Structure 1
Amino acid sequence: MRIAILEDEAVLAEQLSGVLERAGHICYCYSKGSAIIADLKRETFDLLILDWNLPDTTGIDVLRWVREHIDHVPPILFVTSRGEESDIVEALDMGADDYVVKPVQTGEVLARVGALFRRSYPSKGKDIEIFGDHQFEQKSTSVTVSGEQIILTPKEFGLALLLFQNLDRALSRAYILEKVWGRNPDLLTRTLDAHISRIRVKLSLRPESGFRLLPVYSYGYRLEKLNQGEE
């Protein structure tokens, strides 16, 4: 999973990112609220870890901005030295999903992150995932549409499944590339565009079939599930 860590203590940020990356996650660290907000405007993350006290703002202000400006808000974990009950209540009331008081035990943070992912992304990891007439089988990397098997390459399969797992959610180009091709892939933009074009055709991702695969200007792509009669 792709995790953004907002923490102005460099040692703690490195400690948190280290334990999470060893668990298989990809982490991006920020020391200022303005920096993470700038990236949230153009990037997609699966989870946010926020400190409260920051050089330029507060974690609460960042949380407020996220709730006001991001359509699909990822789970949010506060990791902060502020341990008063009133602080915890304020963060949770503002929309935080969990709260850890410093000094932190990295094992506890890892367990809480795992719990948030299981709760927020319950369908991911299943061998067979079904989205209407589209059925994905992970072991065989095969897809059937209305009972008809569709031949996809492994990358096409991974891209299509990622889009279906995130229906109606805009995904940034960097997020898609990392999820499907790995971190920092040496790929041209047209590689992703070509794969998008192929799965749009192969899986009939068009309004008449109930789906619409759209580019999001200066951001990435979004697969929308249409209501009956909507075009």
Structure 2
Amino acid sequence: MKTGILTSSADCMALLRQLLAGRDCAVYAGAEGINAAREDGVDALVVDLDGLETAQAASVAALRVLREAPGANGKPPAVLLLAAAPQKKLLQALRAAGADDYLLKPVRRTELALRLELLLAAGAQTAHAVQAGDFLFDLGRLRVSSPARPTLDAALTQKEAELAMLLLDNLGRPLSRAFLQERIWGAEPELPTRTIDTHVSRVRTKLGLKPEHGYRLATVYGYGYQLERLGDIDQDGQA
């Protein structure tokens, strides 16, 4: 699979190359870079909005053309946007033009890799497994299982899968609702307050994140949520 990096920033280019180490990557710049990515048949394109020195109209037009072109797997490439801060108008225009998802910087290796895998697997609709904690996520079929619990085989939505993997990647760390919204829903406007709570509740139920299975997904009052592996906590309750 070939991943394109679209940025005019040398620093961002170097960082993304490091984060995507092990992948076949090509770097492009400006709106013309989108056309070059289309001709190269990339499977995924990571677009650095902060390093995209071009007019919004040109970017939107080029992205629409890109989404009409098949990648190496015969499907249009997945497009992931990156930005240091929400840019709602530009984001909404690019999402309408065909961008698939959005991440806020700073971006971590595991988060970027998992988000790309989800997008590619959703497009290909093929089995692709990712291990996170004690769980195995089939990103193509959007199901979760656990070798330690043979009876666990649950269907997930894409947001539930992203949320579950984000929580597992941050075991023992309290995560604010604002952080969860930024990482999972991006700059989605007017997200209902209960949306995050509902998704957390579903993840807790579907993965069985309960003491009898060695986990505790707790509410941090007035802040957010924290997932703990009970075996990592001593008798005084300290990590």
Q: TM-score range by the shorter chain?
A: 0.3 to 0.5
Compute the TM-score of the two structures, normalised by the length of structure 1.
Answer: 0.47
